[in-house]
Chain A
């Protein structure tokens, strides 16, 4: 009968229950009697390990000028369980806060969803980043408020109100970062952006620990073994940047009242001499108690001061792309140094010329005069050199060759081996993109003619532009642009896909720009300079004013790119700014006071707040 067999199943169930209970008793036996490991664990729990924070590494510029250092700051922490008989009113008065804020903070601390690691027995952050003045009052009367403690910290202080985008800032670590990196615990500070972020691991140093004894009631009974086991904190490594702070300051002054950016690079080393983005901000506004308020104001500002335009903004390069275009055309056989094309000035088709000059023009004149039709013909004969072929495959092959060669200048991708924080990729459009847009055979040289003069889908960052000038100055290679002076790892040589022999003519053309062309009015006396202006059409109003160049021609020491948004001609704004910066860097001073005054006092964008 079925019920008889089912009846016996109770023995199976009883057996399972008994087996589990026995298993647990065996486990208890091994945990409590056999294993000593857990008794040691209990000992270690009776210690209170107090973290000692190390001073953060200092930051210097390339000439060992101190840029960022530390100042003492204080956090108010509390242990919820130890608070008793708190006179909230006097406490708030001593800290200069109101009662509503006090109540709000306590509620936030207790909220486990926001304060993940909350425990009423461990120290919790009540207020952070207070100055000595803020805590002076409460320090004397702290004994009146059991459960509250003052924790020493260090905060950043800055020698100059400049270079905020390069330096970056420090803030409390996020929960995500704590999970990723065991070094951090809740309430720690860490670099959030800029070199503070990139070099966080070197700058932060190593935390020390002070071991205190606790009795079973949680009271501190003094130091463990008189502090023999304590570990002293290890200060962070100092960081020497490639920046020249004087150049940086001058650049920031020159961009006042304008939206734009500057990147200057030493071509031989790839060291970034200046990286400016305006509007910017004083880095010290993002330190201390006012940080969140100031940060919110910066986020709200429509001119986006938090954005580092030097690496994050993407522009069509316009005419500043022409030297690169010329090199690519020479390399791929689209033109040679003697090639001439006719130019009908404003009557040219399909692209008009914006300058008046003779016709036909050769390459030197085309660069000097920024002749649009010349570069259209050069571009076309480069990507059409093998004709179109079946289903345009030959044409697409040539186009892809063109794209690869352009990208070898550092365009269209991030400098992955660089320490520069938050770069944009830029864009050198792909064959796939046009296939999708126009159909497999729906596009020809004519369709993408804007690319010939650096307009259209092509996008570059100021950093990439400056780097391309370094490559031209070096006649065939560039070293990854970087910010750490001591890091030889970064000095990776990237060879261009363009033969060395092609550079002299293009550089000659760029030299002529300063001698006879659009740059002649901004030439520094007695220095041979190479450059190219650009006036870039865009969808946001007036043309962007661009300039790229390097100097001196014979032995280049500085390569530069300048962008001034919606300001007009390249020759009017970007070229003089570059010229003044090159003068400063090459001669150590600015002698052209008139030009300097004109640029610093001109405002091209009324929305930019004066600092």
Chain B
């Protein structure tokens, strides 16, 4: 059977339908967002919707072409593609003009392109190739080291192009690594670190008692103790040891409150003392009772308390003022509605004013009067929220969810390790973009300027996502092709 015939049947049409749906809805939204009263029509080439239409057509063409390539090529040329893209990233740093402070665009005549969008695909291919090597297992640090090099190289180059948002997307690969065997504790530690940072920074100025310490440190300490109890109690089943510890903590807290009657105690010191003391307790257990699992508990406790103490410092000293403000706005510590909080506040107003059914297509006042900045790129979801209301936004979210679930199904049905890893890379990247972008528009994630896949205006991102997806579809199709 000839290849071309088989691919028509082998291709996962469900995914293609989701893809076309999202691209089409995105196009409509861009038209709404950049709609101008004197504008002639949706196909006006001078307008963004018209331009996006061209990008969409070319993306379809590109997707079709990618399906025609022999699937073995992607595996075979993975490193070459990676090397070429890295080279392109380096060149970009030097030749790219300064556009709004970022040096990430290659300008060729009327067309400009962001090589960073290709870097996701290239890194995904390279990682898949490396990790699918015979006998490779993600187990120890030694296995993770070369992987992190693959990820960090484009990450650093994109940081140098002043595109921090696009660079952060490379964190998404940790989700794929988790699926491939990386210890889940690493992800949990990451979540714990973010939690501690947020709590300590947000509540660092909320004082407890009569200036006796900050609420942030107290919450951090309580969280750490709960983790210790939980770990010891549920995971290692050493009930007695954890009960001793609970007794000790209760005694210390009681003693502190007692002393506090006569003498004002600094609760910060007490909470740090309790966590460190319990850390030592686990060290003692590990040393003399030979419960080896407690080593980690001790290390995590001490590390976390050091981290908690330093995050306030990191926040004040290391972050730039504008980054501090963005985080403060996000944590509701500051209402900076004209500066950093402006975008988020306007986007919340636009979405909130949509109500259940929305104001109707092209009737959104907020987005149309340009109260929302970047409304056809990073904040495109506002238009959906305002013009199509709760049902429209939920529909879009559900389609994304269906797409992601479909991609997970595709990933798990692969027999080739290379294909599975690549599928997970694609899923992770899409998920990360979705989570950050919509979270940002809804005001629950910091403002990190990354596009919403298939929705946001722009050829580079549309092409980038299309390439990611259609290489996956091609790889997936090969599964059936072999059977014929």
On A, residues with C-beta under 8 Å from B are 2, 6-7, 9-10, 12-14, 16-18, 20-21, 23-25, 27-29, 31-33, 35, 37-39, 41-42, 45-46, 81, 84, 112-113, 119-121, 179, 182, 214, 216-218
Contacts A28-B394, A32-B393, A38-B351 hold; do A10 and B370 have CB atoms under 8 A apart? Answer: no
Is A121 a contact partner of B394 (Cβ separation < 8 A)? no
Q: Residue A112 contacts which of B37, B100, B339, B369 (CB distance < 8 angstroms)?
A: B100
Is B438 a contact partner of A9 (Cβ separation < 8 A)? no
Is B179 a contact partner of A10 (Cβ separation < 8 A)? yes
The reply to whether the CB of B444 lies closer than 8 angstroms to some CB of chain A is: yes
Of all chain A residues, which has the CB nearest B350? A42
Is B352 a contact partner of A42 (Cβ separation < 8 A)? yes
On B, residues with C-beta under 8 Å from A are 36-38, 100-101, 137, 175, 178-181, 184, 338-339, 345-346, 348-356, 363, 365-366, 368-371, 373, 385, 389-390, 393-394, 397-398, 400-401, 404-405, 408, 411-412, 427, 431, 434-435, 438-439, 442, 444
Chain B residues closer than 8 Å to A39, beta-carbon distance: 352-353, 355
Chain A residues closer than 8 Å to B411, beta-carbon distance: 10
Of all chain A residues, which has the CB nearest B345? A41
Is A45 a contact partner of B355 (Cβ separation < 8 A)? no
How far is the CB of A181 from the nearest CB of chain B, in Å? 12
Of all chain B residues, which has the CB nearest A217? B37
Chain B residues closer than 8 Å to A23, beta-carbon distance: 444
Is A25 a contact partner of B397 (Cβ separation < 8 A)? yes
Contacts A10-B412, A45-B349 hold; do A32 and B175 have CB atoms under 8 A apart? Answer: no
How far is the CB of A121 from the nearest CB of chain B, in Å? 4
Give CA–CA (A121, B366) in the complex, Å.
Answer: 12
Give CA–CA (A13, B431) in the complex, Å.
Answer: 10
How far is the CB of A370 from the nearest CB of chain B, in Å? 56
Chain A residues closer than 8 Å to B363, beta-carbon distance: 216
Interface pairs A-B: 4 shortest CB-CB:
A38-B352, A42-B353, A41-B349, A121-B370
Q: Residue B435 contacts which of A20, A25, A46 (CB distance < 8 angstroms)?
A: A20
Extra 15 A-B pairs, beta carbons < 8 Å, given A18-B401, A24-B442, A182-B338: A9-B178, A9-B179, A13-B427, A14-B408, A23-B444, A27-B444, A31-B351, A31-B385, A32-B393, A38-B348, A38-B353, A41-B348, A41-B352, A81-B370, A120-B370
User: 7 interchain pairs (CB within 8 A)?
Assistant: A2-B137, A13-B175, A28-B390, A31-B348, A42-B366, A81-B36, A112-B100
Give CA–CA (A45, B438) in the complex, Å.
Answer: 23
How far is the CB of B31 from the nearest CB of chain A, in Å? 16
Chain B residues closer than 8 Å to A29, beta-carbon distance: 390
Contacts A14-B408, A31-B442 hold; do A24 and B175 have CB atoms under 8 A apart? Answer: no
Give CA–CA (A38, B337) in the complex, Å.
Answer: 13
Chain A residues closer than 8 Å to B394, beta-carbon distance: 25, 28
Of A7, A9, A120, most B-chain CB atoms within 10 Å: A9
Chain B residues closer than 8 Å to A37, beta-carbon distance: 352
Of all chain B residues, which has the CB nearest A14? B408
Give CA–CA (A489, B351) in the complex, Å.
Answer: 52
Chain A residues closer than 8 Å to B398, beta-carbon distance: 21
Chain B residues closer than 8 Å to A218, beta-carbon distance: 37, 369
Is A45 a contact partner of B178 (Cβ separation < 8 A)? no
Of A13, A179, A217, most B-chain CB atoms within 10 Å: A13
Contacts A28-B393, A32-B390 hold; do A45 and B366 have CB atoms under 8 A apart? Answer: yes
How far is the CB of B86 from the nearest CB of chain A, in Å? 28
Q: Residue B101 contacts which of A12, A38, A113 (CB distance < 8 angstroms)?
A: A113
Is A24 a contact partner of B397 (Cβ separation < 8 A)? yes
Is B408 a contact partner of A10 (Cβ separation < 8 A)? yes
How far is the CB of B441 from the nearest CB of chain A, in Å? 9
